[in-house]
Structure 1
């Protein structure tokens, strides 16, 4: 039931453009809870999401993954609603619910018939401050999370390489830790650890409630006052700065795990929209990602996969809305007869082209048009509209940033794309991981031996 949201991927953020012509209403309760409402009356459904400003990037060493663990425990009951009741009540009311944890946030959501919104609010308000954290429930859920980690990471070659890659690419940024946590930390959580984390971060003044759907804004605000206003705020002390130290040379590693195919991941240190004085660079990097991997006609697909047939798959990714500076990533799997070194050379050649030559006006316009098309497509989803509002608010950008996206992307010039390629996509900011596939039989033997 618990999904893990690691990060946004290439061009995932254009969905915020869907908000550009819509009205979002805001109301802040006396206890600090911010409520955002976007009316969408096309169907009798409402999406309700509660976003907490806490995720894996908030966690110190020794308790990595505790935000994700607490996400699991949030379904384990309160005085008013014993374990299992939350999900049962949502289902009885015809709703769907889930949760996800990322580097910068933890969020809980329900999708229900709009007239049932009070059911969602009553349950979320109850567990915001009155959660039961019991040893016996923690013991059960530790087994669930351990198995989740095994399936999602330990038995997944690409995920395993990505975890090791992040741990190398970042020196002191908390983005070096996996969202799900390191195995030794998971094995040693205590109820006291979880209680302290819950008390510190789960409070109305550290949360945003987002509702999108067939609702009236004032009615939602009244409902929020009814269910959430009595909850006491916490003294939320700001985090100490966690600025990544400057990288001063290329970093490389080889990851040996059982796998069918080799692969390669490259990451350059780059800013995000939250980085001071870097807004124009962030939008230019967003467009640059589109030039490389913005559909089947983009450069990686048309050049490396179909053209030179060096790769069977190749992609680029950039997350524009992160709390801290992150990475511009390129990933690829070599074609038969080609090596990861061949791929690295080809990918660097594509970067060099961007640094030396201006993107043509036609290509630039095509990428921008695709961004806008993605925005129109995503407008049909109330869930993703709500998600963008919650994400922007939670990482510190403010939901209003949604209205700027289309205009800012359209303002990006070919010169700006070339400039950010020259400024950020350099070897001194580069980390590379090579996946060296080991025989799958060894993995299968290890699994049998563990039984």
Structure 2
């Protein structure tokens, strides 16, 4: 849970997840926590608001779980839920301490759902979701539509000419394409969607795409509930894939920056491709360059039509709201969505790994070491055990990896790990990594890191250490209860991935029930040599 809460506070994600800032015209903002190079490739995070109100009154998290239960029950009693006739579900948590509301629209679709040849389409669609509607973001939508059609035809003609090697025709077509694209740009009201939100007191307008899901979120003053209903329902009822080709170049540049020109980015992509053989977790969420180059507006439209259907969307609303009013407005605005068939599920099942795997890259970089192990999905009965194991090894300066590799032996500048890489809806990886300190080698780091992992398979964890990580997990859960945006994310994540938002509030009991024998059992099941994938990033050899 400690790691789940952390990853949710960063919007989970792994991948090479990213956040689109519509206020920057679709550019990406990346917020590094430890070392910008590796963390920008592993995940990007949003720091949820602090929780002072509950923090002042919460019980000592070291006490028995029963003393915390009244606070959890108070939150549970303020949650309501309903599902519209078209299948779109709403989860509402009343928090009346301040006149603000946080909203999160969760599309149960991410990089793992993309068809072969269309990698990156989920992330591409997230970018385009901020471009407006037939009424928002345009001076003349009818004329825009005509120009979109012309651009799409020219794009197909350019590709055909390029395939035949007709460079002269390619140049002529590109000139015509640029002219029409400029005409279309003249009709765009830049960032009108974001401007409406900002002028109405909205904050935090953003989104993220991960291997598992796509999230759209922002907060409003509580008297703007109906405005949110109108804006959010319209952009998914009538999406306009405006500035498609411009945004494609933005995403290609993002990939060049975060992967192609990043040694650790390349290493992570190669590591996943080695750790997975069948499951789409092996593919980068941002997509492969060739797939992005070849992607068409029609590809995005088909993906949207298939996955952005009411029964694949869940909305969480947390803050100063009246649930009855939320339901009434939801029916008016989101009830307009027609019912559609459920989208296809991910059917690929990763076979059990039967032998160790390794990948080594030599690039101009500091040396890094990665070690990963396959583990079950988030809804597995042992999820609390896995979270506590990760906390024991890598949660903060008191963790075993940090104390041993960084402080005591000074082999690494940093050593950490986390669960749910690159997602956690399906069987995933526990990933551990370390940045080698000057004067030491990757192999020294590898031996020291693996020693700490191996310890968990032969030596029971002390009750004192186990209680410490349980206390941390309980405290983090309690602190999350007063954060509107954080709670919105947690509620919807548990609803979609475990079957009920109520499972979030059962985690305290799950942690309390974990014993040192459980830790030993799960560690032995997981940290087997044949289940291990190793990645090494080494400096280029001198010529």
TM-score after normalising by structure 2: 0.75
Q: Report the CA distance between 1:351 and its aligned residue.
A: 1.6
Return the alpha-carbon distance in structure 2 between the equivalents of residues 290 and 167 of structure 1: 26
Equivalent residue number for residue 46 of structure 1 = 101
Q: Say which of 368, 385, 396 aligns to 2:470.
A: 368
Q: Report the CA distance between 1:319 and its aligned residue.
A: 2.5
Q: Report the CA distance between 1:159 and its aligned residue.
A: 2.5
Equivalent residue number for residue 87 of structure 2 = 32
Equivalent residue number for residue 288 of structure 1 = 389
**Pairing 1:123–2:231 present:** yes
Q: Report the CA distance between 1:378 and its aligned residue.
A: 2.8
Contact 2:119 2:292 in 1 (8 A): yes
- Stretch deviating more after TM superposition (21-30 or 185-194): 21-30
Unaligned runs of 5+ in 2: 1-20, 31-39, 52-68, 139-190
- Stretch deviating more after TM superposition (217-226 or 313-322): 313-322
Equivalent residue number for residue 262 of structure 1 = 367
Give the SS at the match of 1:47.
strand
Q: Report the CA distance between 1:19 and its aligned residue.
A: 5.9
Q: Report the CA distance between 1:214 and its aligned residue.
A: 0.9
Return the alpha-carbon distance in structure 2 between the equivalents of residues 385 and 68 of structure 1: 24
Deviations 1:107-154 (A, max 9, x none): 1112111111211111111121211235xx111100111112222223
Equivalent residue number for residue 151 of structure 1 = 257
**Pairing 1:314–2:415 present:** yes
Equivalent residue number for residue 110 of structure 2 = 55
Equivalent residue number for residue 380 of structure 1 = 482
Contact 1:104 1:395 in 2 (8 A): no
Equivalent residue number for residue 110 of structure 1 = 218
Q: Report the CA distance between 1:157 and its aligned residue.
A: 2.7
Contact 2:108 2:313 in 1 (8 A): yes
Q: Report the CA distance between 1:273 and its aligned residue.
A: 2.7
Contact 2:80 2:93 in 1 (8 A): yes
1:181-192 paired onto structure 2 within 5 Å: 181-192=287-298
Equivalent residue number for residue 443 of structure 1 = none
Equivalent residue number for residue 22 of structure 1 = 75
Give the SS at the match of 1:180.
coil
- Stretch deviating more after TM superposition (27-36 or 235-244): 235-244
Equivalent residue number for residue 449 of structure 1 = none
Return the alpha-carbon distance in structure 2 between the equivalents of residues 267 and 241 of structure 1: 23
Give the SS at the match of 1:152.
helix
Unaligned runs of 5+ in 1: 441-451
Q: Report the CA distance between 1:91 and its aligned residue.
A: 1.2
Deviations 1:341-386 (A, max 9, x none): 1111111111221111100011110111111122233333211110
TM-score after normalising by structure 1: 0.90
Equivalent residue number for residue 90 of structure 1 = 197
Deviations 1:249-284 (A, max 9, x none): 11111122222x10111100111233xxx41x2211
Give the SS at the match of 1:22.
helix
1:225-244 paired onto structure 2 within 5 Å: 225-244=331-350
Q: Say which of 111, 116, 119 aligns to 1:64.
A: 119
- Stretch deviating more after TM superposition (225-234 or 391-400): 391-400
Question: How many residue pairs get matched?
Answer: 430
